[in-house]
C-alpha cells in the first residue's frame, strides 16, 4: 500500500494526482513527492506555489521548498529562491548533491543554475495585474493568506508519503505569504516546522501562517506526539490546541497541521477556518475537510 496526503483543495489535488502518476511508473516516495509538487509549481493557476504565485511586496516571486527522507533523516531545502523552477527539485538536489540542508536566496539560485536549472520568469500577466491592484490598496507587511485573497481555496502545498512496511517522506513548496516583505521565510523550508519524517514514527507537515507554525515547531511536535503513542489525529489536535493556548495570534489566520503514522492513519487540525486534506491510497482519492478546533 502506498499513501500520499496533500494539503488544500485545488493545489493539493494537482500535487497528489501527479504524485500517484509517478508512483505508477515506479517512482520512489521522494520521486513522487518531488514530481507532484513540481507539477503544481508549473501550474500558473495556483496562487501560492511556483509560477504565477502571488509575489512579495516588491513584485517578485520568492520560493521556499523542502523535502525529507524518513529512512535517513536526510533533508534538503531552499528559501527565497527567485526565478528558478521547480524549487522542490532544487531542494532535492541540495539533499542529494551537497552536505548541507538549506541554501538561501541568490546563492540558492546560483547553485540551481550550476546544477542545470533554467532561469524562468515566474510572473504572469495575471499575477502582475493582481500585484498592481494590491499596490493601490495595501501596504507591505499586511497579513494575507492566499485562500483569503484569491478565488482559489489554497495555500502552501505540503505532502506526506507512506509506503509499506514503514517508510515515510515529507515535502513542501510555497511562495510564502502573499505580498510578504522581501526575504521573509516561513515554516515550509524549515525541517521540523513545515515538514518532518521519521521511519520510526511517521510524518507530519504544516501549512498556513508560517511564523506561528515555525514558533510551534509544528511538524516535529506532531511526530513527537505520535512517538509517545498519540494517533495522528490526536497529535495534530494537541499541536493546534497548544498553539491556540500559547500563541493567541494563531487564531487570526489558519495554522494547519497534518500527519500520517506507519499504519497509514491520517489526521489534521487547524486553528481557524477550514483545512482540506487529500488522501490517496493506492490511487483512491478522498478529501477530508478539517474545521477549526473549538476552544
Ligand atoms: N506556510 C507558508 C508560509 O507561511 O510561508
pLDDT digits (tens, 9 = 90+) for 29-56: 999 999 999 999 999 999 899 999 999 9
Residue 207 CB less than 6 A away from ligand 1: yes
Q: Give the Å distance between the CA of 156 and the centre of ligand 1.
A: 6
pLDDT beyond 80 at 140: no
pTM of the model: 0.95
Q: Give pLDDT, residue 149.
A: 46
Q: Give pLDDT, residue 231.
A: 98
pLDDT beyond 70 at 167: yes
pLDDT beyond 80 at 200: yes
Q: Give pLDDT, residue 152.
A: 38
Catalytic one among 3, 156, 174, 279? 156
**Residue 74, by phi and psi: left (phi above 0), alpha (psi -120 to 50) or beta?**
beta
Q: Averaged over 90-96, what is the pLDDT?
A: 98
Q: Averaged over 127-147, what is the pLDDT?
A: 74
Residue 211 cell numbers, joined: 511564523
- Radius of gyration of the chain from its Cα atoms, rounded to whole angstroms: 17
274-286 pLDDT per residue, tens: 999 999 999 999 9
**Residue 280: closest CA among 70, 57, 7, 16:** 16
Residue 178 CB less than 6 A away from ligand 1: no
Q: Give the Å distance between the CA of 134 and the centre of ligand 1.
A: 19
Q: Give pLDDT, residue 139.
A: 63
- Which residue's CA lies nearest to atom 4 of ligand 1? 210
Q: Give the Å distance between the CA of 191 and the centre of ligand 1.
A: 13
Share of the chain above pLDDT 70, in %: 95
Q: Give pLDDT, residue 150.
A: 44
Mean pLDDT in the chain? Answer: 94
Q: Averaged over 68-75, what is the pLDDT?
A: 98
Residue 272 CB less than 6 A away from ligand 1: no
Q: Averaged over 65-75, what is the pLDDT?
A: 98
Only one residue has cell 485545488, namely 10
Q: How confident is the model at residue 103 (pLDDT cuts 50, 70, 90)?
A: very high
Q: Give pLDDT, residue 151.
A: 39
The yes-or-no answer on residue 156 being catalytic is yes
**How many other CB atoms are there within 10 angstroms of residue 266's CB atom?**
24
Question: Could you tell me which residue, 161 or 181, shows the higher pLDDT?
Answer: 161
- Measured N-to-C along each axis, helices 218-227 and 232-246 cross at an angle, to the nearest 10 degrees, of 130
Q: Any idea what DSSP says for residue 231?
A: -
Gap between the Cα atoms of 34 and 21, Å rounded: 12
Q: How confident is the model at residue 245 (pLDDT cuts 50, 70, 90)?
A: very high
Q: Averaged over 78-96, what is the pLDDT?
A: 98
Gap between the Cα atoms of 50 and 41, Å rounded: 4
Q: Give pLDDT, residue 138.
A: 72
Amino acid at each position: 500500500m502506498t499513501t500520499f496526503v496533500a494539503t488544500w483543495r485545488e493545489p493539493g489535488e494537482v500535487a497528489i494526482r501527479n504524485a500517484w502518476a509517478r508512483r505508477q511508473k515506479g517512482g520512489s516516495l521522494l520521486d513522487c513527492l518531488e514530481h507532484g509538487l513540481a507539477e503544481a509549481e508549473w501550474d500558473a493557476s495556483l496562487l501560492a506555489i511556483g509560477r504565477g504565485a502571488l509575489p512579495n511586496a516588491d513584485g517578485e516571486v520568492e520560493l521556499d521548498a523542502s523535502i525529507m527522507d524518513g529512512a535517513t533523516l536526510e533533508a534538503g531545502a531552499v528559501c527565497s529562491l527567485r526565478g528558478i523552477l521547480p524549487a522542490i527539485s532544487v531542494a532535492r538536489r541540495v539533499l542529494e548533491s551537497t552536505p548541507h540542508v538549506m541554501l538561501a536566496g541568490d546563492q540558492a539560485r546560483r547553485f540551481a543554475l550550476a546544477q542545470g536549472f533554467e532561469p524562468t520568469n515566474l510572473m504572469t500577466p495575471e499575477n502582475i495585474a493582481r500585484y498592481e491592484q494590491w499596490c493601490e490598496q495595501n501596504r507591505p507587511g499586511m497579513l494575507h493568506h492566499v485562500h483569503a485573497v484569491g478565488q482559489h481555496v489554497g495555500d502552501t502545498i505540503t505532502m506526506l508519503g507512506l509506503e509499506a512496511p514503514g517508510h515515510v517522506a515529507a515535502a513542501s513548496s510555497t511562495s510564502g505569504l502573499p505580498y510578504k516583505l522581501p526575504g521573509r521565510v516561513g515554516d515550509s523550508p524549515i525541517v521540523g516546522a513545515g515538514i518532518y519524517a521519521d521511519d520510526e514514527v511517521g510524518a507530519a507537515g504544516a501549512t498556513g501562517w508560517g511564523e506561528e507554525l515555525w514558533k510551534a515547531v509544528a511538524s516535529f511536535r506532531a511526530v513527537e506526539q505520535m512517538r509517545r503513542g498519540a494517533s495522528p489525529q490526536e497529535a495534530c489536535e494537541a499541536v493546534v490546541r497548544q498553539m491556540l493556548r500559547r500563541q493567541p495570534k494563531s487564531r487570526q489566520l489558519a495554522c494547519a497541521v497534518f500527519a500520517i503514522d506507519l499504519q497509514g492513519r491520517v489526521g489534521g487540525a487547524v486553528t481557524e477556518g477550514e483545512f482540506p486534506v487529500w488522501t490517496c491510497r493506492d490511487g483512491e482519492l478522498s478529501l477530508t475537510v478539517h474545521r477549526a478546533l473549538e476552544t
